[in-house]
Structure 1
Amino acid sequence: MTTPPVPPAGLGPLCAEPVSLYPPFRQRPETWDRYPDRADGYCALLTALGDVELGSHDVRILHWFADLDAPTVATVCALLHRAHAAGYREGSTP
């Protein structure tokens, strides 16, 4: 029996533009670049997706999406983290 991951803190709904690519999204990191390196956004998206299996098209779109501004990428990361956490709260299995 696997234990579901503990959802990161600070996963409530966003009511303002996020200032971090990782939870908690409302806490500004030491360095914040509105247009971070694509690798930073890509890693944040992969972290938010967790163990989701990705196909080559998925990976291509994630690389494209990671090029967008940090608040947009962070908003999608926050949604993915919250959806993942909501699934575990509802009792779904990975």
Structure 2
Amino acid sequence: MNIEINDYDLLTDDKDGRSRCVLHTKDQIDLAFALYWKPKIFISNAGKSFPYEVYQPRPNDHLDSPHLHMRADRQFCLNEIIAVGDIITVM
């Protein structure tokens, strides 16, 4: 499954130093599906994919726009290279 990022919000790093962000998408993502499989994000600026973890800080409300929360190891510097139009791939 490939999902395009429409917008994103960068959050502070978590207590373990992992980068966190909210990825806004056109279509709602089945979080149960995303939590079970190993998601990767393709970063167009880097030309490759990086692993990340999907997490849910609270249940999504029906008024929330389609989005997901993700965190990744700081070594990938995703918060510096992520861009609108990048692709989330869930494998």
Quick check: which one's strand share is greater?
A: 2
Whether TM exceeds 0.5 here: the answer is no
Structure of greater Rg: 1
User: What is the TM-score when the length of structure 2 is the normalising length?
Assistant: 0.32
Quick check: which one's helix share is greater?
A: 1
Higher relative contact order (CA 8 A, sep 6+): 2
